[in-house]
Amino acid sequence: MKIIDISEIKNLIKEGSTIMIGGFLGVGTPEKIIDEIIKNKIKNLTVIANDTAFEDKGIGKLVKNKLCKKVIVSHIGTNPETQRQMIEGTLQVELVPQGTLAERIRAGGVGLGGILTPTGVGTIVEEGKQIIEIEGKKYLLELPLRADVALIKAKKADYIGNLVFNLTAENFNPLMALSANTVIVEVEEIVPTGSLSPNEIKIPGVVVDYIVGVEK
């Protein structure tokens, strides 16, 4: 694990990358890293996240600056700009039921070949997907999701990368940390190693590659 300056983001996220971004309507989203992506105009991104937040917050800022070619999310209802670009055909939007999205990310992190879920059977969601029947009940086979980079927001980190979150700001972050080739974390505070209680650590340092340094 390496502590880096935020200016190094441009060397770690490439144009055309698939990135997972933690957060729920911007809560638990690494805003400073997103701002750095915008500053460096890193484009053609495929973003996997719960939602696209708002036009002026979180992932919504990437959409507004037209840096995304595709988003895989559970809803876009709070961001009119995402809706507009989807209708125009300039942004691909894959809508996934929220629980299914979480499980597909988890499957990517733990090495599963997919998950079976009844959610979406008999609806537009099943189009193009394999249907498997078990004991008389139909399920959709949903494939795992992985990313080149996961962007995580944590409240605290120690110097070996163990992470602590602030209440519900945890949301999708721990799942995503397991499902990407590179994990970059924005933290509010870096504390001495050994000062965090094992019970409060939600992501172990072994899966963290980079921590964006705290501004003095």
Beta bridge partners of 46: 18, 70
Of 89, 102, 90, 79, residue with least CA distance to 20: 102
pLDDT bucket at 216, cuts 50 / 70 / 90: very low
Both structure tokens of 112: 């599963």
- Give the Cβ contact number of residue 118 at 10 Å: 11
| Distance from C-alpha of 107 to C-alpha of 105, rounded to nearest angstrom | 5
Residue labelled with tokens 């490439």: 14
Query: How do the domains of the chain map onto residue ranges?
Result: 1-116+143-211
37 pLDDT exceeds 90? Answer: yes
- Cα 115 to Cα 20: distance, rounded to the nearest angstrom: 19
Query: Which residues, including other chains, have CB under 8 Å from residue 195's CB and lie 6 or more apart?
Result: 158
Note the pLDDT tens digit of each residue in 45-54: 999 999 999 9
pLDDT at 201: 95
The predicted model scores a pTM of 0.93
Beta bridge partners of 154: 187
The pLDDT value recorded for residue 26 is: 87
- Number of residues that this document lists for the chain: 216
Query: What DSSP string describes 52-108?
Result: --BTTBTHHHHHHTT-EEEEEESB-TT-HHHHHHHHHTSSEEEE--HHHHHHHHHHH
Per-residue pLDDT for 164 more than 90? yes
Question: Could you tell me the fold of the domain covering 1-116+143-211?
Answer: Glutaconate Coenzyme A-transferase (3.40.1080)
Given a cut of 60, whether residue 155 has pLDDT beyond it is yes
